């Protein structure tokens, strides 16, 4: 069997484990939950919010430690709903399992079939069994629903397989409803080539714009406020201009070199780096008004190193912080948090704005997508920023996700492998 890359974060697997898998599914909860989901479908509720309900219901009914749904797009899948021990995998890119799921409506993935892209195979004692079922829409496999079990004395039986197949069918229905989720076609190779071309054009316009904007901002500051700046302030402005000009030259060289490689855009060689130090340095290069809004109290100095392209942190943070600045009131803070678990090092940009709608958490990463028509008028742009952030992060074998923030606002989370 081909290896399936659906591993969650080990730290969250260990935390809050359930004892043994129940001998039988909770059919009362299944009936009640399925009726509630169907009522919301008929009422036209947003697709992603309903998908989250289905995932939570699968975990509750089957007694799993976690559950999730991987949506299948051209060439790959992506975890767009997750709960329990799988919650940390939200936004992660995964391999499609079409061949296996085409032959079986559901299948049990044993520990020796799991593989973690970051650290290699985990020990069998730490990896749960995974029960997966395909979700169909009009003859197309649109995704897979899966439930994780830990420390189960017996493997899931026919009843568990039937329940996860039923709930996967409900998930598939969300892709056929007029107000539901989009189903993607199967011409993966053509889509990948188009995506590579789009990526090259997007990087050319967007990554070059980032240092140019900073250079222009500091040059304007020197021009308009020279007399009010002290010597230290002038030297700092010149230092940032020099640093960003060097970055601009490197970007031009990289993009010119990439033109002969079918749009493949490289970066600096990845390696271990201090995430907090890199974030603090990136903050110093943000525009002054945005820098003043940032709260950096939750950046611990003792985090393990991350693994990736340190230079890309400036582009990633600039985009996420700029979005938070645009979509939240000027008098509210934008918070920057960082933490680590046994597999990843994470940072989050959190605002107290209107918050992203659940049905937009994935669409926000699409090329040229800018939300509601009113957003386009209030916040003009090309709609490429978050698309680029996701591609840059995934080149480093990390993943990024958006979600509404408890209490109001939006939370953007970036996870990178540990160094």
Domain ranges of the chain: 10-173, 188-266, 270-419
Distance CA 282, CA 349 (A): 13
β-strands 271-273, 399-404 pairing: unpaired
Q: Is 380 exposed, middle or buried (0-12, 13-18, 19+ CB in 10 A)?
A: exposed
| CB burial string 325-340: b at 16+ within 10 A, e below | bebbeeeeebbbbbeb
Nearest to 303 by CA among 345, 272, 337: 345
| Dihedral of the alpha carbons of 367, 368, 372, 376, in degrees to the nearest 10 | 150
Nearest to 379 by CA among 332, 336, 328: 328
Nearest to 64 by CA among 187, 155, 125: 155
pLDDT digits (tens), the chain, 419 positions: 334 444 445 443 444 444 456 778 999 999 999 899 888 877 777 778 889 999 999 999 999 889 999 998 877 888 999 999 888 889 998 888 778 888 888 988 764 444 443 333 333 444 567 899 999 988 888 999 989 887 655 778 899 999 999 999 999 988 887 666 765 644 554 555 556 556 556 656 666 777 788 888 888 888 888 988 888 888 888 888 887 787 677 666 555 544 443 434 445 678 999 999 999 999 988 888 888 899 999 999 899 999 999 988 988 998 899 889 988 998 899 999 999 999 999 999 999 998 888 888 888 888 766 665 444 445 444 566 788 889 889 888 999 999 999 889 999 999 999 98
Q: In what order do the strands lie in the sheet with 129-137?
A: 93-94, 76-84, 66-73, 140-149, 129-137, 106-109
Distance CA 60, CA 255 (A): 49
What CATH class is the domain 270-419?
A: alpha beta
Residue 94: how many CB atoms within 10 A of its CB?
Answer: 21
Domains 10-173 and 270-419 share a fold: no
Strands (E) in 351-409, as ranges, are: 399-404
Q: Is 300 exposed, middle or buried (0-12, 13-18, 19+ CB in 10 A)?
A: exposed
pTM: 0.68
Instruction: Map residue 234 onto helix, strand or coil.
Output: helix
Q: Is 98 exposed, middle or buried (0-12, 13-18, 19+ CB in 10 A)?
A: middle
Q: Are 177 and 47 in contact (CB under 8 A)?
A: yes
Q: Both tokens of residue 89? A: 């995998």
Give the CATH number of domain 188-266.
1.10.287.130
Q: What is the pLDDT of residue 58?
A: 95
Q: Can you identify the CATH homologous superfamily of domain 10-173?
A: GAF domain (3.30.450.40)
């Amino acid at each position: 069997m081909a290896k399936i890359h659906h591993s969650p974060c080990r730290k969250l697997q260990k935390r809050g484990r359930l004892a043994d898998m129940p001998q039988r599914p909770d059919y009362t909860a299944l009936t009640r939950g399925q009726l509630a989901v169907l009522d919301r479908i008929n009422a036209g509720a947003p697709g992603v919010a309903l998908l989250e309900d289905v995932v939570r219901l699968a975990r509750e009914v089957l007694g799993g430690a976690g559950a999730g749904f991987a949506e299948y797009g051209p060439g790959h899948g992506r975890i767009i709903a997750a709960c329990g021990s799988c919650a940390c995998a939200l936004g992660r890119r995964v391999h499609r399992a079409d061949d296996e799921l085409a032959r079986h409506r559901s299948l049990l993935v044993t520990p020796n079939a799991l593989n973690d892209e970051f650290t290699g195979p985990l020990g069998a004692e730490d990896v749960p069994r995974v029960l997966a079922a395909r979700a169909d829409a009009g003859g197309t496999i649109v995704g897979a629903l899966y439930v994780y079990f830990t420390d189960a004395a017996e493997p899931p039986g026919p009843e568990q397989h039937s329940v996860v197949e039923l709930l996967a069918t409900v998930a598939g229905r969300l892709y056929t409803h007029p107000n539901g989720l989009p189903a993607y076609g199967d011409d993966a190779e053509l889509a990948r080539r188009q995506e590579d071309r789009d990526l090259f054009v997007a990087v050319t316009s967007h990554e070059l714009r980032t240092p140019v904007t900073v250079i222009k901002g500091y040059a304007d500051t020197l021009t308009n406020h020279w007399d009010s700046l002290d010597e230290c302030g002038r030297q700092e402005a010149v230092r940032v201009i020099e640093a960003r000009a060097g970055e601009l030259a490197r970007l031009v060289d990289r993009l010119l070199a990439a033109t002969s490689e079918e749009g493949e855009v490289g970066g600096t060689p990845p390696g271990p780096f201090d995430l907090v130090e890199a974030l603090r340095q990136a903050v110093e290069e943000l525009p002054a008004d945005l820098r003043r809004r940032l709260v950096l109290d939750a950046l611990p100095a003792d985090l393990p190193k991350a693994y990736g392209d340190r230079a890309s942190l400036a582009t990633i943070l600039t985009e996420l912080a700029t979005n938070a600045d645009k979509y939240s009131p000027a008098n509210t803070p934008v918070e920057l948090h960082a933490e680590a678990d046994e597999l990843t090092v994470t940072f989050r940009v959190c605002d107290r704005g209107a918050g992203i709608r659940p049905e937009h958490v994935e669409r926000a990463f699409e090329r040229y997508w800018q939300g509601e028509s009113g957003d386009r008028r209030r916040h003009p742009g090309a709609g490429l920023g978050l698309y680029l952030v996701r591609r840059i992060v995934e080149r480093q074998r990390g993943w990024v996700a958006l979600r509404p923030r408890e209490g109001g606002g939006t939370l953007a989370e970036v996870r990178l492998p540990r160094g």
